[in-house]
Amino acid sequence: MSKSSASPNAPGFAKTFVYPALLIFAVPLGSLLFFLHVQASFDADLLASITQQINQDAEMPAAEKAEAIQFFTDHPASELVASGDADLGLTPEATGYYAMFRWLIRLSLWSLLAGLAVLALVGACIPISMRSHHAQYLCLSIGWHVLRIYGALQTIVIGVLLVALSFWVTAFWFEIYFVKLIFIAGAMALLGIAAVLKGIFKSTPNENHIVGEPADPVANAALFNRLKEICAKVGTTPPDNVILGIDNNFFVTEMPVIVKGKQYTGRTLFVSLSLLKQLHEEEADAILAHEMAHFSGQDTLYSKKISPLLTRYGHYLGALQEGGASLPVFYFMNFFRALFELSLSKLRREREFRADQIAKQTTSTPAMAGALSRVIAYSAYREEVQRQLFSEEVALEQANVAERVEQGFPEYAATFFSQPDVGELESAHPFDSHPPLAHRLEAVGLRIELPEMQALLAQTGNGRWYERIADAAGLERAQWDEFEAEFRQYHEQSLPYRYLPATDQEREVVVRHFPGVSFTGKEGELRIDFEKMAFTKWEEPIYFREILQLQMTEGGELQIKLQRGSAKQKASIKLQKFPNQQEVLDALNRFWGRYQTAVAYQSERAEKTS
């Protein structure tokens, strides 16, 4: 379940994606203009020198002088050097400079034209991709391959141009160059190229793990027979696998899934036991008809094709974001990823509305509306229960999520539609997204404001489908036990990051997870615990609450600024004097990070309760 809301202060699409994408043209355009200017300046200096030589030639007639000067004026030295039509008597160094300018100008121009071509090509794919699943897959596939090749080449080009600019900008205007600046530009170029290679060749595993229990077709013959009946009405074949779990959703996929270490291929349906218990029989029929409709519309087939492309695209973007010279390419490709998301969102909405309509026709409008509302209400309530439990400030003796949800959900469901912003809630899904509840209800012919909507959820579901599953209670309880044990463990691990211990019990929790450590160096022993650090050379320990700033120098010295009473003081410790310097630094970061997190948490908590 998720809730979408647009913040009035949120940056717009142009500021977030379009403007940064234009950075791809900044280096090539700047290089083009700069090296055209440098080449023109060299041409002007050489023309002045040639004109002076011609005018000083006493034997050349005036008419020939004028003709020669006009020729060199009409044909700059850069043009003559490139064509080889005239011997200007240039030094090898000057000839090399002209060749360098010529290729840098060409490289900049090709880069700009390639960017515009890719912009037009991939941009044209967006409206085409909105026509159908097949068109979307083709456009995304073509766009991905074009952008990947373009991104690799463009990163190399930008790197070369940056190195060239790092030398020539200062050499041309200030007649000096800085080796450090050239080194930095070269490092950025190498980082960019490394990022591209990492993105291209790094494997992108796309494993989908599902927590649940595969349903035995023999033991659950009633379940599989009813699915066959629904599939016959919908016009598709039954799923190959049915996974029984306790997640707060139902979903289908054709991507390989891993359940308890074993991979299952083909069509997979996930069924929530916990939700089945809350649904009326006809509502469960509607939900399952909706999911089978995704099979009939080949939605899952194209999700299976598109998902690996999106995964590789995401890994490539992540690699580009890490590289120096590749950052403009990252923004450019991120812009197209955002545009493709418009297409993906449009077709996702269309296929959800189509599946809702098929489910409505297979069952009834009230059944479909009730199923949608009850599933989303259950998801919202379960998240609320888990959120309340997780906010507890002491270790949980029991994380009885299942019991709390089952007991409290009927009352919650009865008042679900009276809560604010209900229409913006969406169904949870591990592989996809859904339109808001209000839009889906309107598409099947109902509105949230209608009195009958509240009546749909006022009656507790009869759980008939739950009763048809072999050992449903045992399967569900076993999975809840595992989930609640993990929930308790995660909750307890979070407590040390919340406490600024005020009681012995809180101190015991923090110390259990953050036991004190000590390190011995050449200048003495450093001891660190959850609230302070002490060093042999210091007269007294320094408490974390006293520290204003921690800073590491290039030489490996930790400098500490602290406040004691009304006085500000300084202390330091030479970490380079410890044989295990990195371990010391890691420990300091861990203990100091815990303290800062706890301070932030307590501050936020105080604001909420004030």
d(CA 292, CA 253): 10
pLDDT at 4: 39
201's enclosing H/E stretch is helix 179-201
More confident residue, 5 or 376: 376
Query: Going from the N-terminus, what domains does the chain have, and what CATH number goes with each?
Result: 13-201 (no CATH), 213-296+364-491 (no CATH), 511-609 (2.30.29)
pLDDT for residue 131 is more than 60: yes
d(CA 312, CA 110): 27
Report whether 272 contacts 250 (CB < 8 A).
yes
d(CA 196, CA 94): 35
pLDDT at 430: 56
Taking only the tens place, the pLDDT of each residue in 404-455 is 999 999 999 888 888 888 778 776 655 556 788 888 888 888 887 777 777 8
Residue 205 DSSP SS3 = coil
Sequence-distant (6+) residues with CB within 8 A of 123 are 336, 339
Structure tokens at 352: 């959800």
Taking only the tens place, the pLDDT of each residue in 198-223 is 666 566 666 788 999 999 999 999 88
pLDDT at 429: 56
d(CA 601, CA 508): 19
pLDDT for residue 3 is more than 60: no
Predicted TM-score of the model (pTM): 0.78
Band the pLDDT of 49: cuts 50, 70, 90.
confident
Closest CA to 286 of 364, 378, 376: 364
Residue 420 DSSP SS3 = coil
β-strand 425-426 against 2-3: which pairing, if any?
Answer: antiparallel
pLDDT for residue 2 is more than 60: no
| CA distance readout (Å), 165 to 152, 186, 577 | 20, 11, 42
Band the pLDDT of 390: cuts 50, 70, 90.
very high
pLDDT at 266: 93
d(CA 353, CA 570): 65
d(CA 468, CA 220): 7
pLDDT at 252: 92
Q: Which DSSP string do the residues of 422-438 spell out, in sequence order?
A: GGGEE---SS-----HH
Q: Which DSSP string do the residues of 15-58 spell out, in sequence order?
A: IIIIHHHGGGGHHHHHHHHHHHHHHHHHHHHHHHHHHHHHHH-T
Per this entry, what is the length of the chain?
610
Taking only the tens place, the pLDDT of each residue in 512-544 is 999 999 999 998 999 999 999 999 999 899 999
Radius of gyration of the chain (CA): 34
Neighbours of 260 (CB within 10 A): 11
